[in-house]
Amino acid sequence: MGMPASLLLRGPSLGDVDEVVVAAYDELRHADAVFSTYRDDSDLSRLRSGEITAAHADPAVDEVLALCADAKRATDGWFDVDLPGGLDPSGLVKGWAIERSLAVLEQLTGVDVCLNVGGDVAVRVWPGSLPFVAGIEDPRDRSRVATTVALSAGGLATSGTAARGLHIIDPHTGQAVADVASVSVIGPSLMWADVHATAAFARGREGVRWVESVPSYDALVIHLDGSSEATTSWPAP
């Protein structure tokens, strides 16, 4: 989907990890082949054009669309895949694909894993290991790190306009929104962190207070003027 992917493995003895790493990247490639909105030959593009029906698409399509329906209900409609440009589950599918890739990497016993795809990060750290420290990009200057957060499990997802411009839609108006610069969410599931980040960004300045009500998830909002605010349980850097 035009995003960089990087993998960091950490452990006293990594041994032969090549086969597992290849399989993990294959999960990402498969998600791209099925769900990319940039490829005319993806199952999603063919579904949007009417070339195929859901019954003839990869089985992952039904799984993801069911999760998207759950996400719409969980966010009171602020996460929606029925957008003006057509069906687009990108706000969920990236986190879903990263978690599938991470599940493959969890075969590596005793190895800490940090997988970063397009700035969204999923980690698995074994007991006794130090957490990974993930940086959150300054949306006004992408060469800078605005702050950092330590992660031992789960993930960090960020929604904003710095990388892709105005692409997040208010599902109630159909208009692109940019009332804040970025929303970063941490929690036990990267997929759901991504969903909540997208929904919170669409909500604008009320987004951080909405995430405050979501159990097990925390948010950091960076405003257009560079100021920031976070949920009460957001960890100090």
State the CATH number of the domain containing residue 192: 3.10.520.10
How far does CA 17 lie from the centroid of its chain? 25
Instruction: For residues 201 and 78, give the distance between their C-alpha atoms in angstroms, rounded to a whole number.
Output: 9
Instruction: Report the C-alpha gap between 82 and 196 in whole angstroms.
Output: 17
- Confirm whether 231 is domain-assigned: no
Is the separation of the CB atoms in 121 and 211 below 8 Å? no
Mean pLDDT, consecutive 10-residue segments, the chain of 237 residues?
90 89 97 95 96 94 97 96 88 96 95 96 96 94 94 95 71 83 97 96 93 97 94 91
- Taking each helix axis as running N to C, give the angle between helix 190-203 and helix 59-74, from 0 to 180 degrees, rounded to the nearest 10: 50
Which amino acid type is present at position 206?
E
- The strand pair at 86-87 and 132-138 is best described as unpaired
pLDDT for res 170: 84
Residue with tokens 């949306």: 139
Task: Tell me the backbone φ, ψ of residue 9, rounded to 5 degrees.
Answer: -110, 140
Domain count, the chain: 1
Quick check: is 47 in a domain?
yes
Residue 235 lies in a domain: no
Structural domain of residue 212, as residue ranges?
Answer: 5-226
What pLDDT was estimated at residue 13?
A: 80
Tell me if residue 118 falls in helix, strand or coil.
coil
Task: Say if 233 falls within a structural domain.
Answer: no
| Residue 54, domain member (yes or no) | yes
Per-residue pLDDT, 165: 58
Cβ count within 10 A of residue 117: 21
